[in-house]
Amino acid sequence: MPRYDFDMFTIGAGSGGVASSRRAGSYGARVAICEELRVGGTCVLRGCVPKKLLVYGSQFAEGFADAAGFGWTVVPPSFDWPALIAAKDKEIGRLSQIYINMLNNSGVEIIDGHAVLVDPHTVEVAGRSYTADNILIATGSWPEVPDIPGIEHVISSNEALDLKELPRRIVIVGGGYIAVEFAGIFNGLGSEVVELIRRDELLYGFDDDIRVALGEEMRGRGVEIHPRTVVARIEKNAHGYSVVTTDGRELATDLVMYATGRWPNTKGLGLTEAGVRINEKGAIVVDEWQRSTVPNIYAVGDVTDRINLTPVAIAEGRAIAETLFNDNPTKMDHANVPSAVFSQPPICAVGLTEEQARREYGEVDVYMARFKPMKNTLSGREERTLMKLVVDPGTDRVLGCHMLGPDAPEILQGLAIAIICGATKKMFDQTIGIHPSAAEEFVTMREKTVRPDKLAAD
């Protein structure tokens, strides 16, 4: 008779937890997965998927506006927010059911409720105890907001996906990818958008040239961005809300959205009581095998607060299943992970930023191209695409690829393979471009970018 009820008990049925559980089940392991909300997790239910659907919806305004330059006469369009939300809800419901079906087909038992660790091998759900040889924590993250007067009046990205009506005016607080993406969504659908950020530029952590260019393009679309701004309080009034900043400015709006960060979902799980170490932000500390400080308890995805991307969580989860149940010890490689922001226009990056490369390699070669996409020559749109390569002059290896512009995520997914393979600038130069396309610029950049400040320093 087995010592434990299950070989693996997974807490959290998001992308990472489902991927690991499915693969483990396919290898014959006895697996259970517990979810207290709904199968699908952040990505499917309140993140990547519904947000991208709203991004698509908001881009039609641009298409209608550009059509005249190509000879189309477009009847003034109208937009129905409830219809978009209903269509979005139908799609995420379909995807959630697909996740359920995949788990069932892999022999994974689905348990509803809130799970709490009793000890390293025991989990309690709704008064019932389950034992497992291995436990996987995949509970993701949740939006966090600061403790300031009036914070009870704000919404997060969770609520933004389910609003009953489209706000005429919205203030978005935050300069990260969630804030930037929702600024584009609401702006594209016709809302007046003000974005408040603490730093000088958007998207801290991305390449500086891309960050500056994105701010310029968003302002060109009508998004009002206030840098170096901190909110002191939020006041509700008869006409909506007033956002008061620490420097005394007051902004009137119909809705306030906070996107100032997400924190790991580790509260109330009994982790510390079971001996699992968490850091100051509440994230589970794991080693290169995804193991916590308790050897049979693993963690993947946002709950570890490393690279908080769905494909990373999936890869981490699958690595655990391979290691434990397929005699195939596997570590997730966190280097050169590509990432995209579905801003408008979108950005994408793989590898090192220029700043990171200079810190690690010293002097680097930089190649950049900024141009008006062919489509914009007839549409009259003034937006420009920016592409950038960061190269190690010692080895000629391309250390980073960065792009702002239409289809950036689609283009850089392929270039990510080249970066993983250690491609050199010479290899890029020897590659024949696809003409006419924006992507060909990555293989036609020949002139190095000269930084005036670098020349002065020399």
Q: How far apart are CA 251 and CA 231, in angstroms?
A: 10
Which distant-in-sequence residues (6+ apart) come within 8 Å of 120 by Cβ?
135, 274, 275, 294, 296, 297
First vs last C-alpha separation in the chain: 74
Percentages helix, strand, coil for the chain (3-state, rounded to 5) are 35, 25, 40
The residue written with tokens 């952590």 in the block is 205
CA atoms in the 13 A half-sphere facing the CB of 97: 6
In this structure, are residues 176 and 206 in contact, taking their beta carbons and an 8 Å threshold?
Answer: no
Cis peptide bond upstream of 149, omega within 30: no
* Strand duo 339-341 + 347-351: pairing: antiparallel
Are 30 and 7 in contact by the 8 Å Cβ rule? The answer is yes
Radius of gyration of the chain (CA): 24
**Separation CA 98–CA 269 (nearest Å):** 27
- In terms of Cβ atoms closer than 10 Å to its own Cβ (0-12, 13-18, 19+), residue 457 is exposed
Per DSSP, the three-state class of 33 is strand
Catalytic site includes residue 114: no
Closest CA to 118 of 313, 294, 299: 294
User: What's the order of all strands across the beta sheet hosting 398-404?
Assistant: 339-341, 347-351, 398-404, 385-391, 365-371
Catalytic residue (choose from 226, 239, 334, 435): 435
**Residues designated catalytic:** 435
